């Protein structure tokens, strides 16, 4: 206890002597006769009454001292440019293949022929009239002459809506058969001809029932027809 009091008294005497000297110089920290900053038992610097953050030194208050600016990075030394690659030899021109002309589409002798207008069948009849025969000669028999091979000849017979379904079905079949018989007489192979009766299922014209029977029969005439479908490659 006695030694502690003696140390404190000595420190007070020493501090007062140097504090006066530091005050005269306006220093921020107390220094000894060697000019070194005086520190306490906790290694903390003694500040004078003149101390301010502007007087802080790194030894005592490193957090208050401005950090030195980082040194600029050394300038990069540019590398010498790689030598340009030697030019490649020019490619030899490749001759374009000559396009072959497209093969012409094979000719066909396909046709669809409809008996109409004055060529249609009379009411309740299946006989061909002269106008119908002339039309078949020109557009069916004449067309078949241009076929290399006759693949098929399909004949549809049609009826108007007057009468029952059963009756008109049979009537339409007879009309198709009349056309087949005529074409066979002109040299068309009968085994290449197919007939179909459509009855009154595909009318060509619609007529109101307000007409009298004679007018209605005349109005429905376009439905009493035959249609011929020819298929085969041309010559």
pLDDT over threshold 60, residue 1? no
Distances (CA, A) of 145 to 31, 155, 187: 135, 18, 10
- Whole-angstrom distance, CA of residue 13 vs CA of residue 164: 145
Nearest alpha-carbon partner for 192 in 223, 226, 151: 151
Q: 131 to each of 13, 36, 142, how far by Cα in Å?
A: 152, 141, 16
pLDDT confidence tier of residue 66, bands split at 50, 70 and 90: confident
Between CA 33 and CA 45 the distance in angstroms is 16
Phi and psi angles of residue 111, each rounded to the nearest 5 degrees, phi first: -160, 155
Give the domains, in start order, of the chain with CATH numbers: 2-63 (no CATH), 111-231 (3.30.1330.60)
pLDDT tens, position by position, 127-181: 999 999 999 999 999 999 989 999 999 999 999 999 999 999 999 999 999 999 9
Pick the residue with more confidence: 34 or 82?
34
Half-sphere exposure of 149 (CA within 13 A, CB side): 3
The pLDDT tens digits of the residues spanning 30-60 come to 888 888 888 888 888 988 888 888 788 888 8
User: Residue 123 — very low, low, confident or very high, per pLDDT cuts 50/70/90?
Assistant: very high
- Residue 46 vs residue 1, higher pLDDT: 46
Cα-Cα-Cα-Cα dihedral sign, residues 25, 28, 30, 36: negative
Residues contacting residue 169 through CB under 8 Å, at least 6 positions apart: 159, 197, 199
Q: Is 35 left (phi over 0), alpha (psi -120 to 50) or beta?
A: left
Within 10 angstroms of residue 116's Cβ, the number of other Cβ atoms is 17
Return the SS3 of 232: coil
Strand ranges inside the chain, DSSP E: 111-114, 152-157, 193-197, 226-231
Q: What is the DSSP pairing of strand 152-157 with strand 226-231?
A: antiparallel
Mean of all residue pLDDT scores within the chain: 84
**What number of other Cβ atoms are within 10 A of residue 88's Cβ?**
6
The pLDDT of residue 201 is 96
């Amino acid at each position: 206890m006695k030694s502690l009091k003696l140390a404190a008294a000595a420190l007070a005497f020493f501090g007062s002597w140097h504090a006066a000297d530091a005050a005269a110089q306006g220093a921020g920290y107390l220094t000894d006769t060697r000019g070194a900053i005086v520190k306490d038992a906790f290694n903390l610097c003694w500040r004078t009454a003149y101390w301010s953050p502007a007087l802080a030194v790194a030894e005592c208050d490193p957090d208050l001292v401005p950090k030195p600016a980082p040194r600029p990075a050394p300038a990069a030394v540019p590398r010498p440019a790689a030598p340009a690659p030697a030019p490649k030899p020019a490619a030899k021109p490749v001759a374009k293949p000559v396009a072959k002309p497209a093969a012409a589409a094979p000719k066909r002798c396909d046709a669809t022929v409809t008996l109409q207008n004055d060529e249609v069948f009379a009411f309740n009849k299946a006989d061909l009239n002269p106008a119908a025969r002339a039309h078949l000669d020109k557009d069916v028999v004449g067309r078949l002459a241009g076929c290399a091979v006759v693949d098929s000849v399909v004949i549809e017979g049609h009826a108007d809506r007057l009468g029952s379904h059963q009756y008109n079905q049979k009537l339409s079949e007879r009309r198709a058969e009349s056309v087949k018989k005529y074409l066979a007489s002109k040299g068309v192979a009968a085994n290449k001809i197919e007939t179909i009766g459509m009855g009154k299922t595909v009318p060509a014209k619609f007529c109101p029932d307000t007409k009298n029977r004679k007018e209605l029969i005349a109005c429905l005439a376009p439905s009493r027809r035959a249609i011929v479908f020819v298929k085969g490659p041309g010559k």
